[in-house]
Each structure stands twice: as C-alpha cells, then as structure tokens.
A and B are shown apart, each in its own frame.
Chain A
C-alpha cells in the first residue's frame, strides 16, 4: 500500500512542483490523475475548502496547496534539502515562492483562470503586460549576481515554483500566437531556464509539450468561436 498519494492533473505546473520535490528526494508515491471538469469525490473529501489539486495524502492525512506541500515534504524528508537552512535565506526563498505563486495565476491552465490563451484584444494585452512585468522582476531582482539557480548553485523550491515560466509559458505563447519571452531581453532568465531544464529529474518530468499544445489550441478555438 502506498504511503504517499498525490492527486493532480497533467496540465498543472502546481502539480509538477510537488512531483519534482518528491522525485528529487526519491520518495515513492502513487499518482491519481484528476479530471478537473469532473472532480472525484475523494479529492473533494480531501480538499473540501478549495476543491483543487494538487493534494498530497501522507498516511491518510491530506495536505493542500502547492507551496505548503513541498515545505511539508522538506520537513518529513529533509535530504536532499530544497530550502536553505539559514532563516534569512529561507525568508528570501519564501518571498520568491510567494511571488511566483501570486503572479503565475495567469499561466494556470484551469479553464476559468487563464486569460492569455483564452482572451483576445484588450484582455489579452493586459495579461501580456502583467506577464512581462513578472519576467522583468525575476530578471532584475531575482536572478542578480549570475546565479545558476534562484538559490545559488543548487536547485531549490524557488526554481520549482517558477517552473511554469520554464516550460508552460512557451506552450501557451505558441497556442495563443504570442511572443512574450524574448531570450535576448532576458539573458539571466534564459540561462536559468536552460539550467533548470537540464536537471535530470526536471528533464524527465515535464508535461508533454505537444499534447498540451494540442489541448490549448483546441480550447482557444472553442472559446473564440463561442464569442
């Protein structure tokens, strides 16, 4: 019987944050794929307040929220560590994790949220501007000093929190016919994306790009046609 179960959805970068944490620490788990348009009674029972994925169930006890789950994982299975041990460095890491969480809502693929590939015209322009501001902050404040990862030489929870930028953003851009991230304008970010995706666990655990592109394209066409 699996001690750790993870409820998730293959399109969600929030889900992947937890997968990466579990895999980097070598923790075996059972994955339960949820259909977000038809959520299982079990998921609703484990996360009655938000009714969302990801949910980690450890020895029958549910833990919710993709920023809280990795911290729990870190405390139960401390090695290899994904958060700094120094309280100040940890506060800085949490700051960037919160920033990622707040800003990346626009890249969430849940049908009710993403304005980037769903919308057009003014709504889409606003979403694009918002994303650009986020990228600029990451470039100018998060990655100063030519660090390999947000926390220095090693991958940490901060990098995983920004995973959506490294992989999901590109697919959304293609599906929406947009070009927001231009590598020459964001050299540090570009470096970080490459470093991040080269980490073996990350490389082997990224959602299928073609499958996602096809899904987004279909959804966007449906939404624009229904307007």
Chain B
C-alpha cells in the first residue's frame, strides 16, 4: 500500500523546517501544504485540536504533532534510510538532551531578540550567545552533531540558522563573531540538498520578521 503523507507547514517556521529536512534526508515523498496562520484550515484544526499549530504530519490520515516527535516518528518508521538518532541508548539520550535544550532555549531567546529592546534585548542576546557556545562545545571537532553524518540534533538546530540574519539585524550584533564554529557547521549542513532545499533564504526571513514587527507594533 502506498504511504500517503501530508505536511501542514508555514514556510518561515523552524519547526516545520525540521520535518522537511528529515523527510528529504530519507527521500520520503510527501505533499506539502502551506497554511495561512491568520486563517487556519479546517484540516489543521481537526488534526491538531489541542495546540492548533503547525507543523502537522498526516500519515495515512493519522496526525502526528510536535516537531521533535515528528522527526523521531519519521526516523522510526523509515529506519532503514539515513538514520538520524544514534543506535546506542546512551548516545540517544545525549542527542535527545541537546534537542530538548535547543527547544527550551533557542526559539524563546531568539524571539526575545527581535521583539524587545534595551536591557531586555541585551539579556536575550547574551543568553542566546551563551547557549550557542554550549552547543559549539557539544559539537567539538565533529563535522556534525551526529558525527560523520547529519543527525537528530543537526536537524533540530540548523533551521534556526535561517533566522540568524533577522536576529543579527534586530539585535545589532554578529553571531559569527561570537560563534564561528557554529556558523561553519551551519554552512556545512547547507551543502546538503536536504537542508538547502528546506531552509528559506535568510533575507526572506528577515523581510518576514520586519513585517511581523510592523503588524505587532514592535519598533
């Protein structure tokens, strides 16, 4: 029976990008549907009644929600191609720890940078850089967090790279100056088609952020 996969997504969402990369890495055919978050489709509301958020992965009519869960699900169902999580349980726990860390910190701190000013923004920037440095420490000398190949943590973190220009312009700072290793890692990931085809252009994301700032009245 042919698998039917639909991804409900929104182009600038780093969470959606994670799923796009995972599907591309494993060469899984799927239908991509763009959602208008100001006018959510009946399908989205039906498939994710608890959170009403994207991304939603619909596999043969059954919804899977939450991006980390979706990536793990994809890895488990299509386990033969391009495995993302390590096979060793302890290494898996470490990968999950860092994915959880990214989820707890990067999005919120990034958001703080483009939505606030003054002291609050400075604190956001400082903590953001501290988190990136911790991630650089975890990466070490490896080409990817997953080792020789793209792994779970790479997929979870690299989408935020598409937002870096927006953070830098809004926060008036350079991420590369503070975290050159991480930028090098991101650019290495972008050499892969699964990543380059899944991430929007940084300028496009910056334009989107400027629009959002106008709509929400943020200077």
Contacts and interface: CB of A to CB of B under 8 A. Distances in A.
Interface stretch (B12-20, B33-41, B91-99, B155-163): B91-99
Contacts of B59: 88
B76 A87 contact: yes
A68 B96 contact: yes
B89 A76 contact: yes
A49 B134 contact: yes
Contacts of B69: 91, 94-95, 98
Contacts of A137: 50
B118 interface: no
Interface size class of B (residues with CB under 8 A): 20 to 34
Contact of A95 (B65, B96, B134): B65
A61 B89 CA distance: 12
A184 interface: no
Interface string A56-94: 001001011101110110011000000000011011001
Give the interface SS of chain A, mostly helix, strand, loop or mixed: helix
Contact of B89 (A64, A67, A75, A87): A75
Contacts of A88: 59, 62, 64, 73
Give the interface SS of chain B, mostly helix, strand, loop or mixed: helix
A213 interface: no
Given A88-B59, A94-B69, A61 B96 contact: no
Nearest to A69: B93
A98 B99 CA distance: 13
Given A63-B93, A72-B92, A88-B62, A94 B72 contact: yes
Interface residues of A, number: 23
B72 A91 contact: yes
A99 interface: yes
Nearest to A72: B93
A81 to B, nearest CB: 15
A71 B96 contact: yes
Nearest to B96: A68
A141 B50 contact: yes
B77 interface: yes
18 contacts: A58-B90, A64-B97, A65-B100, A69-B93, A71-B92, A71-B96, A75-B89, A76-B89, A87-B76, A88-B64, A90-B73, A91-B69, A91-B73, A94-B66, A95-B66, A98-B66, A137-B50, A141-B50
